[in-house]
Structure 1
Amino acid sequence: MKTVTWLAMAIAGLMLLSGSALAQPPAADADDDQAVEETTVQSSILGDAIGEPVIDEIVITGSRIRRDAYSDSLPLTVITNEQALLSGLDNVSEILQGSALASGVQIDNTFTGFVVSGGPGASTFGLRNLDAGRTLVLLNGRRFTAAGTRGQVSNVDLSSIPFIAVQRIEVLKDGASSVYGADAVAGVVNIITRRRFDDFIVEVDWQDDADYGAVSMLWGQTFDRGYIDFALETSKFGPVKRFEREFSTCSERQLTNGELHPSLFAPTAGRCFGSINGYADVYGIARTPISLIPDNSGNLFGLGIPWRQATYGPDGGRIVETGFRDDRNWVDEDLLPQRELVQLYSDGLLDLDLGDVLGAASATYEFYFSRREDVFGGVHRQFFPFVHPNNPTNPFGVVGGVARPIVMSYDMLDPDTHVENDVTALNLGFDGDRGDFSWDVNVGYSWSRGGWSYDSWLKDKVARSLSSGVAPDGSLQCVFDPLQMYYASGSGFEDAVLNRILSEGLDPSCVPLDLFNARAIRGGVDRSAADYISEIQHLETDYDLLTATFNLEGRLFDMPAGEARGVLGLEWRSRELDDRPSMASVNDNQWGFTGAGRTQGDDRVSEVYGEVELPLLGGRPWVEELTLNTSYRWTDYSSYGDDTTWRALLNYAPNTTFRLRASLGTSFRAPAIYELFLANQTGFASASIDPCNNYRDPASDIDSGSERFKNCARLEEQGVIPPGYAATSSVNVITGGNLDLKAETSKSKTVGLVVTPDLADYIPVLGVDLSLAFDYYDIDLNNSISRLGAGTVLSRCYSSANFTAPECALIGDRTQSGDLSFVNSSFVNVAVEGSRGFDISLRTDREFGFGDLSFDVLATRVLGYEYGLTGDSDPFQYIGHHAYPKWRGEADLRFDWRDYTLTWSMDYVGSTDEEPVYELFSDRSVTNLHKADGTLYHTLSARFVDPNGRFVLVAGIINLLDDEPPRVGWAAWGPSATAPVNFNIPIGAGYDYLGRRLFASVSYSFTGP
Structure 2
Amino acid sequence: MNVQRKTLTRAIRASLMASLVAMPLMAAAQDAAPDTTDPTRTLDAVTVTGTRIKQTNAVTAQPVFVLDRQKLDETGVQTVGEVLQQLTSSGQALNAKFNSSGNFGYPPDGGGIGAGSAQVDLRHLGSKRVLVLVDGIRWVNESSASGVSGSADVNTIPLAIVERIEVLEDGASSIYGSDAIAGVVNVITRRNFEGVQLNGYYGEYSRGGETTEASVTIGGGGEKFNAVFAASYYEQKSIGSGEWEQSSYPTPGTGVRGGSSGTPQGRYTFCDPSRPAGSLGFCDPAGDFWYDVTLDDGTTTPVWNPADPDAGTYHGFTGADRFNFAPYNLLLTPSKRKSIFASVNYDLSENVRLHAKALYNNRTSTNQAAPEPIFVGPFAGTGGIADTIVIHEDNPYNPFGITLDPASNFGWVTRRPVEVGPRIFSQDVDTSYINIGLDGIWNVGNGYSWDVNAVHSENKAEQRFTNGYNVAKLKLALGDPAVCAQVPGCVPLDLFGGQGRPMTQEMIDYIRTTQIDSSKQTLDILSANITGDLFAIGDRYAGFAAGVEHRKYQGDFNPDPLRQSGESQDSFAAAVSEDYDVSEVYAEGNFPLLSTLDVSAALRYSDYSTFGGATTGKLGFRWQPVEDLVLRGTYSEGFRAPNLGELYGLTQFGATLVDPCGSTGSPGPASPDFAAGCLAQGAGPNFEQANTQITTFTGGNPNLQPEESDSYTFGVVYAPSWAEGMSWSERMDFELSYYNHEIDGAIQARDLQALLEACLRAGGTAASSPSCAPFTRQASGNLNPPENFLDNLGTIETDGLDVKVNWASPEWGWGRLTAGLQATTVFDYRAVDIDGNESQREVGIEVNDSAIPDWQTNVSLGWSLGDWSVNWTSRYISAVDEYCSNVPVPEAPGCMGGVEKNTLGSTTFHDMQVNWSDAFALEGLKFSLGVNNVFDKEPPVCLTCSLNGYDAGTYDLPGSFWYVRADYRF
- Partner Cα separation in structure 2 for residue 235 and residue 159 of structure 1: 11
Partner residue, 2:36:
38
Counterparts of 1:951 and 1:147 in 2: how far apart (Å)? Answer: 36
Q: Match for 2:130 among 127, 130, 135?
A: 135
Q: CA deviation at 1:889?
A: 1.1
Match of 2:843? 879
Structure 1 distance, partners of 2:280, 2:697, is 40
- The equivalent residue for 1:460 is 472
Deviation, structure 1 residue 994: 4.5
Distance 1:630 1:701 in 2: 60
What displacement does 1:831 show? 3.5
User: Which of 256, 266, 276 matches 1:279?
Assistant: 266
Q: 2:200 aligns with which of 204, 207, 223?
A: 204
In structure 2, the CA distance between the partners of 1:399 and 1:598, relative to structure 1 (3 Å rule), is closer
SS at match of 1:983: coil
Q: How does 1:658-669 map to 2 (within 5 A)?
A: 658-669=629-640
Per the TM alignment, residue 701 of structure 1 is displaced from its structure 2 partner at its CA by: 5.4
Q: 1:614 aligns to what?
A: 591
CA deviations 1:759-817 (Å, max 9, x no partner) are 247x9454342100001111111101123464454345435676799882661444677
Q: What residue is the counterpart of 1:555 in the other structure?
A: 533
Q: Give the equivalent residue in structure 2 for 1:147.
A: 142
Query: Relative to 1, partners in 2 of residues 1:458 and 1:203: Cα closer, same or farther, differing over 3 Å?
Result: same
Matching residue within 711, 718, 729 for 1:755: 718
What residue number does 2:230 align with? 231
For residues 439 and 906 of structure 1, the distance between their equivalents in structure 2, rounded to whole angstroms, comes to 43
Q: Deviations over 1:19-77 (max 9, x none)?
A: xxxxxxxxxxxxxxx99992299xxxxxxxxxxxx995320011101124533432111
Matches within 5 A, 1:40-119: 56-68=44-56, 70-113=58-101, 114=104, 115=106, 117=111, 119=114
Q: Which amino acid aligns with 1:136?
A: L
Contact 1:389 1:403 in 2 (8 A): no
3-state SS of paired residue (2:508): helix
Of 748, 770, 779, the residue aligned with 1:786 is: 748
User: 1:744·1:782 contact (CA, 8 Å) conserved in 2?
Assistant: yes
- Residue in 1 aligned with 2:366? 375
User: Matches of 1:595 and 1:514 in 2, distance apart?
Assistant: 25
* SS of alignment partner, residue 82 of structure 1: helix
After superposing the two structures, state which structure 1 stretch, 187-196 or 801-810, moved more. 801-810
Q: Distance in 1 between matches of 2:344 and 2:253?
A: 57
Aligned 8 A contact 2:92 2:124 in 1: yes
How far apart are 1:827 and its partner, in Å?
Answer: 1.5
Alpha-carbon separation, structure 1, partners of 2:223 and 2:300: 89
**Residue equivalent to 1:246:** 245
Deviates most, 367-376 or 282-291: 282-291
Q: Which runs of 5+ in 2 are unaligned?
A: 1-31, 282-292, 305-311, 378-390
Match of 1:897 among 850, 862, 865: 865
In structure 2, the CA distance between the partners of 1:954 and 1:244, relative to structure 1 (3 Å rule), is same
The aligned counterpart of 1:569 is 547
User: Alpha-carbon deviation of 1:344?
Assistant: 1.3
| Structure-1 separation of matches of 2:526 and 2:416 | 54
Q: What is the aligned partner in structure 2 of residue 939 from structure 1?
A: 911
Pairing partner for 2:164 from 141, 164, 168: 168
| Aligned partner of residue 867 in structure 1, secondary structure | strand
For residue 746 of structure 1, report the CA deviation from its aligned partner. Answer: 0.8
**In structure 2, distance between residues paired with 1:67 and 1:233:** 34
Residues 855 and 892 in structure 1, CA contact (< 8 A), matched pair in contact too: yes
Aligned to 1:396: 400
Q: Distance in 1 between matches of 2:522 and 2:228?
A: 25
Letter in 1 for 2:343: D
| Matched residue type, 2:98 | T
Q: Alpha-carbon deviations, 1:63-115, whole Å to 9, x = none?
A: 10112453343211111232232221111000001221212455554243344
Q: Are 1:412 and 2:399 matched, yes or no?
A: no
Matched residue, 2:801:
838
1:906 aligns with 874
In 2, the alpha carbon distance for the partners of 1:35 and 1:230 equals: 20
Report the more deviating stretch, 367-376 or 99-108. Answer: 99-108
Q: Secondary structure at the match of 1:866?
A: strand
Which is further off, 149-158 or 132-141?
149-158
Q: Helix, strand or coil: the match of 1:208?
A: strand
For the structure 1 residues 344 and 725, does the alpha-carbon distance in structure 2 shift closer, same or farther, using more than 3 Å as the test?
same
The verdict on how the C-alpha distance between 1:130 and 1:728 changes in structure 2, with shifts beyond 3 A counting, is closer
- Aligned with 1:998 (options 938, 962, 968): 962
- TM-score calculated relative to the size of structure 1: 0.81
How far the C-alpha of 1:983 sits from its partner, in A, is 1.6
- C-alpha deviation, 1:689, in angstroms: 5.1
Aligned to 2:677: 711
Amino acid paired to 2:911: T
Distance (Å, rounded) in 2 between the aligned partners of 1:80 and 1:908: 22
Matches within 5 A, 1:433-444: 433-435=441-443, 436-444=447-455
Could you say which residue in structure 1 is the equivalent of 2:784? 821
For the residues of structure 2 that align with 1:283 and 1:792, how far apart are their CA atoms? 32
Tell me, in whole angstroms, the C-alpha distance in 2 between the residues paired with 1:722 and 1:429: 69
Using the aligned pairs only, state the percent identity.
23
Please tell me the residue identity of whatever aligns with 1:834. Answer: E
Instruction: Identify the range of structure 1 (168-177 vs 784-793) with the bigger mean alpha-carbon deviation.
Output: 784-793
- What's the offset of the Cα at 1:235? 1.2
- Alignment check: 8 A CA contact 1:844 1:854 kept: yes
The CA distance in 2 between the partners of 1:800 and 1:918, in whole Å, is 20
Residue type at the aligned position of 2:681? L
Q: Does 1:627 align with 2:598?
A: yes
Letter in 2 for 1:123: A
Kept after mapping to 2: 8 A contact 1:333/1:378: yes
Residue aligned with 2:680, SS? helix
- Counterpart for residue 496 of structure 1: none
2:625 alignment partner in structure 1: 654
Distance across 2 between alignment mates of 1:792 and 1:920 = 16
User: What is the SS of the residue equivalent to 1:982?
Assistant: coil
- Do the aligned partners of 1:375 and 1:419 also contact (CA within 8 Å) in 2? yes
1:338 pairs with 334, 337, 340, which one? Answer: 334
Q: Does 1:508 align with 2:478?
A: no
1:362 paired to 2:357:
no
Over 3 Å counting, the alpha-carbon distance change for 1:295 and 1:440 in structure 2 is closer
In the alignment, which residue of structure 1 is the partner of 2:180?
Answer: 184
Question: 1:299-314, aligned counterparts within 5 Å?
Answer: 303=302, 309-310=315-316
- Give, in angstroms, the shift of residue 821 of structure 1: 3.4
How far 1:408 moved relative to its partner? 2.5
Matching residue of 1:485: none
**Distance in 2 separating the partners of 1:704 and 1:565:** 65
Contact 2:604 2:616 (C-alpha < 8 Å) held by counterparts: yes
Mapped contact 1:112–1:335 kept (Cα < 8 A): no
Residue 513 of structure 2 corresponds to: 535
* 2:902 alignment counterpart: 930
Asked if structure 2 preserves the Cα contact closer than 8 Å seen for 1:841 and 1:856, the reply is: yes
Are 1:692 and 2:661 counterparts?
yes
State the alpha-carbon separation in 1 of the partners of residues 854 and 271 from structure 2.
51
Does residue 1:769 correspond to 2:731, yes or no?
A: yes
Deviation for aligned residue 1:758? 1.0
8 Å Cα contact 1:344-1:370 kept in structure 2: yes
> Structure 1 pair 930/987, CA: closer, same or farther in 2 (3 Å)?
farther
Alpha-carbon distance in structure 1 between the residues aligned to 2:868 and 2:263: 56
Structure 1 residue matching 2:844: 3-state secondary structure: coil
Q: 2:651 aligns with which of 668, 674, 681?
A: 681
| C-alpha deviation, 1:399, in angstroms | 10
Call closer, same or farther: CA 1:772–1:36 in 2, change over 3 Å: farther
Change beyond 3 A, Cα 1:462–1:237: same
Alignment-mate amino acid for residue 495 of structure 2: L
* Whole-angstrom CA distance in 2 between matches of 1:37 and 1:835: 31
1:866-901 Cα offsets, whole Å, 9 max, x none, are 111127445655211122111111111011111111
Task: Please tell me the root mean square deviation across aligned C-alpha atoms, in Å.
Answer: 3.4
